[in-house]
Structures are given as structure tokens and as C-alpha cells.
Amino acid sequence: MKVIFTSLALLCCTLLSAQKKLIFEKMAIMPNEAYAFGYTQSADEIYAFGGGEDFKRFSSYLHIYDTRSEIWITNEIKEIPLTKYASSVYLEAYKGILVLGGTRPYGTSVGLVDEIRMINPDDFKVTTLGTLPEPAKDMGIANDGKKVYFFGGSTRMERNMFGTANFQFSKKFFVYDLEVGHMEMLPDLPKAMETNGGIVDGNLYVFGGFNRNPLTSIWQYNLKEKTWTELEPFDRPVSSYALAQYGRYFILAGDFYDGNQLIVYDTKAKKAEYFKTNFAGRHMGASIMGEYLHVYGGFSNNKDNFIKHDHYRISIKNLIESLDQ
């Protein structure tokens, strides 16, 4: 029996050591340390809005990284309240950053942001488009032309007499048609959870997440048929990751517990590949910009628990090509 246990242990160690390590290049740091910000990108610029500057301070800064000059700039968006855990997407047709949900300071407690707003990154003007039917933090968000899908999140965060946070997770799923200003409720998520996802070939893919425990699940939603299908799950739970999309591939960077984890999911093969990186974090941002995957900001996973302003990049072409090696 001891021999069997030893063999299993050696096998596990061999698998772990065989996991590929990715070496990211260090880039210009963000102007401020930040985590739990809304992030998105246009063709040439990365946007990171709000987040936490320390454990108590909320932010309303918009950090912009110009990939042409490789410089970060910052502007405070005073028309939007101090916000953490917002969801953001850049809408090319409107040349604006859509910002949904999140939390804001509310007296000695925390409240939810219910407005839907658009930020113009050229002049920093803000337009209010309406209110959310169910305000939440850490919602998933995905864009399909002039329609924006948002789903899940936490709709309430309260602390009991012992100081423990209690969450009420949501399974609500909505689509917002920007052209006509119409909101529609879609079939509920299979689970109430904080999560994220994106759209490929008429299907929304939703990855892992959190509902008091990190999740391994992967779900596919057919936008036309309005049906959910459960896919083969990840080998391990994933939560608090940053999500970026490259064609049919999704990249999940970081994790609440395994901060130097990076997963590439191929929607065609329905297969995940697992990597380790030369940095670690959670609640970071991730963007595909031209030839590179950028990862920035976040909260350190090490014992010091510090907020980061680090910024890294790696060739996305080399990363995808490594999947078959």
C-alpha cells in the first residue's frame, strides 16, 4: 500500500513539474496600485476603471494604456461614484466604455451601483443610459455587436455581528440592445454565481466563478435558441480570474488561490490547457492588444497581501502555438 501511495505522489509531482511555465515581459507600471477594476480595450488602448487603491479606498480613476506610445495616463471620472467590482466593455460602434454595476461606499457600509453609464475616453464625458434591473458586483459581461449581455454577480453584501460577509449570488441574465435602448431578461444562469464569459460563433461561454466556493464548471449558451449546455469542466476550480479573448480562444489569468495560473480554453476543441506564469495575482485585468496578451494590476496572492500596479505582456501567437507542442 505504501508503494502505491508513493507512486501516486510521484505521478502528481511529475504532472505538476511538466506544466509549462510562461515568462511574461515586464512593461510600464500602472499609475496607481489597483485591483477589482472594470477593464476593457479598444484597438489601441487598454482601459481600467475604478477598483480599490487599498483595502478601504475606492477609486473613480480611469487608467488608459496607449499601446502605440506604451504610456499610461490617468483621469478621475467624478461623474461616476467611487467604484469597485464594476463590469466594463468597449463598444466600437459608440467609441465608448460601457460601465455596469459594482460596489460603492455607502456611509460605513457598501452599496451597489445601479446606473448604466458610457464613458467617452477621448474627452472623459459620461452619459447615463439607464439603470440596471438588478444591480450587482462582479457580473459577467459580453458584447455581440450592438447587444450587451450581462449575467450573475452578487446582489448583496452584508456583514453579520461576527464581521463575516454574507453574499446573495445572482443567476439573472439580461441582454441590453443599445440601438433601441431595450432590456430583456433571458433564461437564468444554471447557477447563481460571480462569473465571466464571452461570445464565439453565436454562443456565450461562461467559465467557473464563485458562489461561496470556487467553481470548475463551463457552460455554453446558444444565443439564438436560448438554451444552456453544460460542457466538460476544468480540472480545478477557478475564480477571481481576468478574462481575455483571442478568436476562438479564451485566456483566464490568475486565480483567488492559484495566482500564477493561466488557462487557455479552445472553444472548438472544448479543451483547456494549463500554464504557470512568472507573476501571481487575482482581480487583475487582461487584454489582447495586437500581438500581445497584457495582464495588469490586481491583488497579490503572497503572504504580504499587497495591491499591485504591475503590468506584463507575452506574445499571444507564441502562446497559442504552444498548445500543440
- Domain containing 181 — which CATH number? 2.120.10.80
Q: Is residue 90 part of a domain?
A: yes
Strand partners, 106: 109
- Indicate the number of domains in the chain: 1
Q: Please answer whether residues 167 and 154 qualify as being in contact, where contact means their C-beta atoms are separated by less than 8 angstroms.
A: yes
Report angle CA 39, 43, 45 to the nearest 5 degrees: 50
Q: Is residue 186 part of a domain?
A: yes
Give the pLDDT mean for 1-23. 51
Q: Is residue 11 part of a domain?
A: no
* pLDDT grade for 2, boundaries at 50, 70 and 90: very low
Give the pLDDT mean for 237-253. 97
Residue 47 belongs to domain spanning: 27-324
For position 264, what pLDDT does the model report?
A: 98
For position 164, what pLDDT does the model report?
A: 52
* pLDDT grade for 145, boundaries at 50, 70 and 90: confident
Q: Is residue 2 part of a domain?
A: no
Q: Is residue 10 part of a domain?
A: no
What global pTM score does this model have? 0.91
75-109 confidence digits (pLDDT tens): 999 999 899 999 999 999 999 999 999 999 877 67
168: helix, coil or strand?
A: strand
Sequence-ordered list of residues with C-beta below 8 angstroms from that of 109, at least 6 positions apart, any chain: 159
Q: Is residue 308 part of a domain?
A: yes
- 261 pLDDT above the threshold of 60: yes
Task: Report the C-alpha gap between 20 and 298 in whole angstroms.
Answer: 23
Q: Is residue 7 part of a domain?
A: no
Q: Is residue 216 part of a domain?
A: yes
